[in-house]
Amino acid sequence: MISAQKIIYRFINLFILTQLIFTIRVKDTNLPELGLRIKNTFEKPWGTTDQLIRDIFVYFEELEGIRKELKKGIREGLDPQTDLPDQFEKYLQVNKTGGPIHLHDTVNIRTLIDFYKWDRDNIDEFYELLQFTRETWKKMYALLNKDERPKELTFHEKLKQKLLARQTQKELEASDSIE
């Protein structure tokens, strides 16, 4: 069971994070490059916890800022491609990579815990930021694609595809052996 102190600590962290969300934005961020750096850090950790969390937060904040600008423009009757070319170009850059690249693969959390010496609060903060990023991407994609789901496959969808491919392969092998 979670202690009252941990609940208060998490609430304060979430409150501070929420306040930062509305104040920090690095507009010149190249999202595909930053996403790749984050993904590489997941695979081969380096630096400090603060550096990793800051990178993930900057990615989220820029994505959320683009989404808000696009949403506002669409509400005002603007065409994102012609009237908001900078924001739309950043969306296209992320979309070409299939969504935020650091969310494509399952994170080996044990590697990060061991390297950064994380406790439960660090892990929770990490997963919350990833979830905020995932939700923001889905909202942006839906906004610009008439509510279609993003192309990004979930872990379970990838597993299902692999299992179906194996089953199809086995069926082909079985039909070849019958002939």
> Are residue 42 and residue 79 in the same domain, yes or no?
yes
- If one counts the domains in the chain, the total is 2
> Are residue 29 and residue 110 in the same domain, yes or no?
yes
> Are residue 142 and residue 166 in the same domain, yes or no?
no
pLDDT of residue 171: 74
> Are residue 124 and residue 68 in the same domain, yes or no?
yes
Taking residue 121's Cβ as centre, other Cβ atoms within 10 Å add up to 12
Identify whether the C-beta of residue 126 lies closer than 8 Å to the C-beta of residue 56: yes
Give the pLDDT of the chain (179 residues) as one tens digit per residue.
Answer: 566 676 666 656 655 555 554 545 566 789 999 999 999 999 999 999 999 999 999 999 999 999 999 999 999 999 999 999 999 999 999 999 999 999 999 999 999 999 999 999 999 999 999 999 999 999 999 999 975 555 555 555 666 666 667 777 777 777 676 66
pLDDT of residue 76: 93
Residue spans of alpha helices (H) in the chain:
4-21, 31-43, 49-75, 80-83, 85-96, 109-116, 120-144, 155-178
Residues 24, 59: Cα–Cα separation, whole Å: 11
> Are residue 38 and residue 116 in the same domain, yes or no?
yes
Kindly state the DSSP code that residue 9 receives in the 8-state scheme: H
The domain of 134 spans: 4-148
> Are residue 79 and residue 59 in the same domain, yes or no?
yes
> Are residue 88 and residue 169 in the same domain, yes or no?
no
pLDDT of residue 168: 74
pLDDT of residue 23: 47
